[in-house]
Structure 1
Amino acid sequence: MSKIIMPGLLWSLAMPWAASAQAPDSVARVAPHAPFIVGAYAQGSIIMAHTYAIRHLVASHPTGFEINLQRQTTGAAPWHAWYKFPKIGLALTYYDFHNPVLGYAFAASPYISKTFSRGPKHDFSFRLGAGLAYLTNPYNQETNHKNTIASSALNATLQFRFEYDYALTPHLGLLVGAGLNHYSNGATTKPNFGVNLPSVVLGLNYHELRPAPTFNAGGPLPAEIGTNFINVSTSLGFKQRTEGDKHKYLVNSLTLAVGRRVNRKSNLLLGVEGFNDRSLKATLEDTTRAGGQQPDVKKVGVFVGHELLFGRLAFVSHLGFYVYAPYKSSTAYYERLGLKYHFTDAVFGAVDLKIHRGAADVIEFKVGARLPGHRPEHIADFR
């Protein structure tokens, strides 16, 4: 958990647009007004000792305060109905770690909240958000060497939570929740063990209109279901090898994938990609005897992937295996989590986190193109 954050950079940029953007296969419709919900919550937490390297920091009990603004989707885009009309919001969070080594945290997190059960007086939902956080006391070798949680002031944050909102009046709701806040820089600099804060939440929501009207619950099927496509993309990222080596090494990749829109919410992919990690070359030069032969640090992998679609925005997950890796610097497999946004039907950008067995390897900033493929004459109804 402590290493899977940095895709929140793209989420923080794209999520507000996705709330109102039409999917490429949608048509214009007139939806009811999307009412606002304004909330203020107190949070109480503990620091999870997920690794031995931060056990000296788990004695305090952080407390926080959050304000947020959200809107209830009502059907302006077809995907609203596919996800049972989720809420889209922005949370501003303040945390006091009650520890001078850690200091304070300030975070801004766009989020989406999917309802499991909704009625005239209650709403039980799951919320997922990601964004940016500022930590006031990052690691410093001379002045703050005990902070092994984060070595940079700017971090990414992940927030997920179960929430129950009960109507006290037609406009005022009591909210209780339980979830987790996480801060990490994705191993861009080291040390970076990240911090996990299991939290309980208590607060109030003001509802502009409750319950909110909705339309287009059936919704048309996307025209792209059953269509194949090709993705071509390239990425770059930077990583630090060790605390002592402050140099940021370039990592880049080239990816070719074939995909298929299998239903309203999902794309499946199969691809091949090549990687060039220059930090591995630096490691070899430090460890190889003078004049010794060095293996190739370039790698080739194949992967299977899934994209969970929210209009033009998609949450990406991949599982890959190296088929060419002369230098055995990591596990034989890798994972990738990220966020992808289609600026047009053909051009997309993404921020991904490449992972080796739960440990962050590199943050990938990606740009690519989607090429149209074949659409079968007969496609099944995936409704």
Structure 2
Amino acid sequence: MLDIRQLVKTYDNGHQAVKGVDLAIKPGEFLVLVGPSGCGKSSILRCIAGLESLTSGEIHLADRRVDTAKPSQRDIAMVFQNYALYPHMSVYQNLAYGLKNRGVDKATIESKIQHVATILKIEDYLERKPAKLSGGQRQRVAMGRAIVRDPQLFLFDEPLSNLDAALRAHMRLEIKKIQRELGVTSVYVTHDQVEAMTLADRIVVLRHGEIEQIGPPSEVYHYPASTFVASFIGSPAMNFVTGSLVEGTLTLNQHSVYLPDYAGFSCDNVTVGIRPEHASLDAASPERLLLPLSVSVVEPLGPNQLVHGQLTQQSSASFIAVTPEMPIDQGNTLPLSVLAEHIHLFDEQGIRIAPQRAHTVV
């Protein structure tokens, strides 16, 4: 449905925001672009919408090249972070404005608006001005204005960032439900990895204008391509500790575990990644790497808690574990361990070491 080919965007000040990005998006897919500020995600979205010109590359929508077309001719609707509603118009007028400009007759406009208002549950607000609406209601109207156009592609530019946490969680569900019902191909930009994980069919993790990893949320979470992806996707972030690997035996903190997937592989200085939820209080076994944790702070979260501390023998390495709710005193040593299958390994460049690589890195 959407095909982005070697997209490059360089601004007048010489900053190259996007560096040769290739993306192919399937019909009906919900693709989420995620990454820190300045990674190029909003520049990509604005280039698709036609709000920014491309430095080089091509954008094709439904087998039609659109980067040379005016924004109004691209059959794309965009939902902005700040809603971009006309304050002097009622909700009905805001929804109808784009259709009137296209010469759509009044009866069709009325039918479309009533249908969209029902989907978004904004029937009672049609005569109100935006100033009389809450943030969540305004966001629904902004979405309605996009839906009523019946476009080939939806673009979302951090649409929930102005909402409070509870409303953001609710609107996430609404957006996902509406997108599934309509089946419209969508590209969504956010810096919030929770939004990315919950909304996406596929996630694109961007860094410095380039794609660091692309895949379904579960794949990006469980098989991060780099320490950057591993630390960005997941809350709390993955722990990183330095260890050594000799013929598949990983040694960390004077404790060792054999990793059968890395048999025959050695690396003197390997970065070991461990998700906080995989560091458990289960009994020690040959399949588990011991992680004695000297506790410094405990954060209760209700059903579980975050335990912060340092691994013994590695006082400089901070570590976070998720444990069930239980009393733990500061200064105590917690006998944590992790299953071999939950250990991630990265090389000195921060790139994931694929299993079963039978050669030696010095």
* Same-fold call, TM cutoff 0.5: no
> Max radius of gyration: which structure?
2
Normalized per residue, the structure richer in strand is 1
**TM-score, with normalisation over the residues of structure 1?**
0.23
Normalized per residue, the structure richer in helix is 2
